[in-house]
Structure 1
Amino acid sequence: MGLTISRSSLPEIPNDLVSEILSRVPAKSMARFRCVSKQWSSILSFPYFTELYLTNSSARPRLLFTLHVDGRWLFFTSPQPLNLDKNSSPSLVADRHMCFPCSFEVSKVCPPVCGLICNKDTNLMICNPSTGKYVTLPDTTNESAEMKKTYFGYDPIKKQHKVLCVSIGARRHRVLTLEPGGRLLWRMVECSIPHDPQCVGICINGLLFYKAMGTRLMIVCFDVRSEKFKFISIENQGVWIQFLLRTLINYNDKLGALINDSDGMFNKRTTCIELWVLDDVDEQKWSRHLYILPPLWKNVVANDWLYIVGMTRNGEIVLTSFGLYDPFYIFYYNMKRNTIIRVKIHGIEAFKGRKIYTFIDHVEDVRLMDAIMAS
């Protein structure tokens, strides 16, 4: 005689165990899990769960790829490889996420910050590639996109995202805070030195850095929490630093900048990388480090022209191309080991020939947009 087990006879799984299990599954599965039951839908919306998921996701950062195709903004992610072996030829598969409608080019995008993306178009929007949700921000001024620059930062203390809109040559700029239950309003912040931002920004531990031209060439440091500006002179650091600061990186939670000996882009003729590190923001002290590329470099890079994506927590410089070729590669240069490894990316071949932008250290955030900001 067969044994029949009724649903009511099954032991109930504690909510904290359900949370722990679900915090380890891919973010793209969350939409399905919300439909399992009201209990699961409620658990997935708890601040405890979303914070747990974000913490676990931070320990397994991903590569993020963006493409602009026929009025849509496409996102793909893949695992970010760790502990690459110089004798291996690894490959990764990129998973497609939900797309967003857009009329702007994907080059006008701030680097992802704590799971969210902000565009740099006249019509600003914040989106979450993990949930497919987005919100359009109110207009700032009647200024054209060419007269203002947008930056995206995160305060890890108050756990707040903020958008900074810099009006070129002005002494007052605008800041918008994204917070649960808050209103999407721009506030004015004072700036003692008018300037013209010159590069994409990078947010490191609540400090937003970008290169700018004012009365002199400088690095602007915007404290996301206090909303105060600080200006770091670079003119006394040597002529080369003026060129290398177009490539800003996170170097062990310090601002770093890179330059090579092949006029910005990396190719098989590149022989060295020069790294400058801002060791002390207040004292404005920099240190310089020089790395000679291994002989294998020219064979691995071949005929590709590469740009720097960033630096991983393991001290690997990540490079790739702007064009989506088949095959499409990501290159990892380990400065300590002096090794170069090429990683093949699968899953995006259908968009061959498109311009593609790559970001590292992307974390998945499963909060719904109305839990991050007011609708």
Structure 2
Amino acid sequence: MASSLSMLQDTVSDILSRLPVKSLTRFKSVSKKWADLTSTPAFISSHLRRASPDPCLLVRSYHTQTGNQSALWLYPEPTRHQGCFLLDVPSEEPLLRFPKIVASVDGLVCLDVSPCYASDFIFWNPATRQFKRLPFPLIASSKSNPIWIVFIGFGFDSFSSDYKLVRIVSLKTIDPFPSIRVEVFSWKQWAWKEIEESFDLTVLCGAAEGVAAGGTLNWLAMGLQELANQKFIVSFDMGTEVFKRIALPPITQYGNVKIMSYMGSWAIAVYPLPNGPGINCFEFWVLGEGNDGSKNWTKMVFMDNFINVLVPVTTWRDTELVFKRMGAKDGNSYQSFVLFDPVGEVSKRLTPDGVDMCLEPWSYEESLVSVYGKS
């Protein structure tokens, strides 16, 4: 009898793990047993593994010139040109600024709601409508230690099953180069901690938000002193909480570099700026592992005479590149997205577009991951 009941429970769990979050949320109010079952870490992980291979697209939009008319939109099926939904911004009190999206990981969205210095954050699950404000970071700007710039990143540490938010703070000093301090927020411990770190002969540059790839968070960096005029990736291992420097391949010197994730590894896109001087080609490099275990860069895509109104912004399903197309329509600025498969070299248009609106896309998949952590 006990064995039969166990098999029945396993069958019920298997069936429920294949249902959408909306249905599971309704079932929680019907059955306490099902509510308890669908709240366990094992069930949440199983449900996440069985999520649709085609994620939604989360888009932050705002007016190009004024920065007003900010909004968050969810496109459930952007490749099929279906409808979209306007999302309510989660907050228990008025916000000083419309949120920026730091990252979207396993259905958990990290929002930056601070007016400056990336110092106020919210964890949000749009599917369950849960949200929670994080405690304020440990490192703050002061007269004696004014902040110059802050780099942030959000990702998942598979070794400890923890979601981590990393905040890299550059402080102004009388020296030629800024002083660096780093702190990490643990979703599991629900607390910030400062870690000892220094970036030898490098300074972070480019986008403030780090890119998650293969259990790491990654930022573009420029070399200093004897490494001057060289570009690197500064990579933070979320398991060991240690930084390392990764040399880039022999890319075109005057190209703009975008760090991306591809097939669970690091990748970089090298491209020209819209209407800017410099290169007129596009390169896509992927860091792979050789037969001897060494890491090697491989040039996967090269396009000559590249259209400089296309800018790589992210990857889709971790296998396809998303380009932002910028141009004009009826005398107004116009933005849209193009999806490109680097293997089959096939492109298609994605749903979002906007006139006089700036669009920032993020992959998003529905999940039951709680915003409250595990402790």
Post-superposition shift, 1:173? 1.1
SS at 1:369's partner residue?
Answer: coil
User: Is residue 2:109 matched to residue 1:127?
Assistant: no
Q: What's 1:229 paired with?
A: 243
Q: What's 1:355 paired with?
A: 358
- Sequence identity, in percent? 22
Unpaired runs of 5+ in structure 1? 1-12, 82-89, 299-303
User: Is residue 2:33 matched to residue 1:44?
Assistant: no
User: Is residue 2:108 matched to residue 1:116?
Assistant: yes
Partners in 2 of 1:133 and 1:71 — Cα distance?
24
The partner residue of 1:319 within 308, 318, 323 is: 323
Partners in 2 of 1:77 and 1:184 — Cα distance?
33
| CA pair 111-273 structure 1, distance change in 2 beyond 3 A | same
| CA pair 100-353 structure 1, distance change in 2 beyond 3 A | farther
Tell me if the contact between 1:23 and 1:49 (Cα under 8 Å) persists in the aligned partners: yes
Partners in 2 of 1:146 and 1:118 — Cα distance?
22
SS at 1:185's partner residue?
Answer: strand
| CA pair 240-292 structure 1, distance change in 2 beyond 3 A | closer
Partners in 2 of 1:16 and 1:78 — Cα distance?
30
Q: Which stretch of structure 1 is more off in the superposition, 208-217 or 92-101?
A: 92-101
Partners in 2 of 1:24 and 1:183 — Cα distance?
30
Partners in 2 of 1:16 and 1:203 — Cα distance?
34
Task: Map 1:156-175; keep pairs closer than 5 Å.
Answer: 156-168=158-170, 169-175=178-184
| CA pair 335-93 structure 1, distance change in 2 beyond 3 A | same
User: Is residue 2:48 matched to residue 1:54?
Assistant: yes
User: Is residue 2:189 matched to residue 1:195?
Assistant: no
Q: What's 2:367 paired with?
A: 365
The partner residue of 1:93 within 77, 83, 100 is: 83
User: Is residue 2:72 matched to residue 1:74?
Assistant: yes
Task: Map 1:131-280; keep pairs closer than 5 Å.
Answer: 131-140=128-137, 141-143=139-141, 146-168=148-170, 169-179=178-188, 182-193=189-200, 195-199=203-207, 200-215=209-224, 216=228, 217-234=231-248, 237-238=249-250, 240=252, 243-245=255-257, 247-260=258-271, 263-265=272-274, 272-279=281-288
| CA pair 314-293 structure 1, distance change in 2 beyond 3 A | farther
Equivalent position amino acid for 1:162 in 2:
K
Post-superposition shift, 1:23? 2.4
Partners in 2 of 1:254 and 1:241 — Cα distance?
23
Tell me if the contact between 2:255 and 2:270 (Cα under 8 Å) persists in the aligned partners: yes
Equivalent position amino acid for 1:159 in 2:
S
Tell me if the contact between 2:221 and 2:232 (Cα under 8 Å) persists in the aligned partners: yes
Post-superposition shift, 1:279? 3.1
Equivalent position amino acid for 1:196 in 2:
L
TM-score normalized with structure 2 length? 0.73
Residue deviations 1:114-147, cap 9 Å, x none? 2222234321222222222222222222227753
Task: Map 1:274-313; keep pairs closer than 5 Å.
Answer: 274-279=283-288, 285-292=296-303, 305-313=309-317
Post-superposition shift, 1:229? 0.8
Partners in 2 of 1:20 and 1:32 — Cα distance?
17
Equivalent position amino acid for 1:334 in 2:
D
Partners in 2 of 1:336 and 1:248 — Cα distance?
19
| CA pair 76-219 structure 1, distance change in 2 beyond 3 A | same
Q: Which stretch of structure 1 is more off in the superposition, 124-133 or 285-294?
A: 285-294
Partners in 2 of 1:240 and 1:139 — Cα distance?
41
Q: What's 1:87 paired with?
A: none
Tell me if the contact between 2:182 and 2:195 (Cα under 8 Å) persists in the aligned partners: yes
Post-superposition shift, 1:54? 0.9
Which structure is higher in strand share?
2
Post-superposition shift, 1:174? 0.8
| CA pair 241-164 structure 1, distance change in 2 beyond 3 A | farther
Residue deviations 1:58-105, cap 9 Å, x none? 644332223469898634141364xxxxxxxx4223345553234334
Q: What's 1:335 paired with?
A: 342
| CA pair 124-241 structure 1, distance change in 2 beyond 3 A | farther
SS at 2:179's partner residue?
Answer: coil
Post-superposition shift, 1:318? 1.7
| CA pair 63-292 structure 1, distance change in 2 beyond 3 A | same
Partners in 1 of 2:76 and 2:275 — Cα distance?
24
Give the length in aligned residue pairs. 331
Alpha-carbon RMSD across the aligned residues, in angstroms, is 3.8
Tell me if the contact between 1:28 and 1:97 (Cα under 8 Å) persists in the aligned partners: no
| CA pair 337-19 structure 1, distance change in 2 beyond 3 A | same
Partners in 1 of 2:318 and 2:213 — Cα distance?
16
| CA pair 354-41 structure 1, distance change in 2 beyond 3 A | farther
Equivalent position amino acid for 1:52 in 2:
S
Partners in 2 of 1:71 and 1:133 — Cα distance?
24
| CA pair 29-319 structure 1, distance change in 2 beyond 3 A | farther
Equivalent position amino acid for 1:249 in 2:
M
Partners in 2 of 1:46 and 1:70 — Cα distance?
41
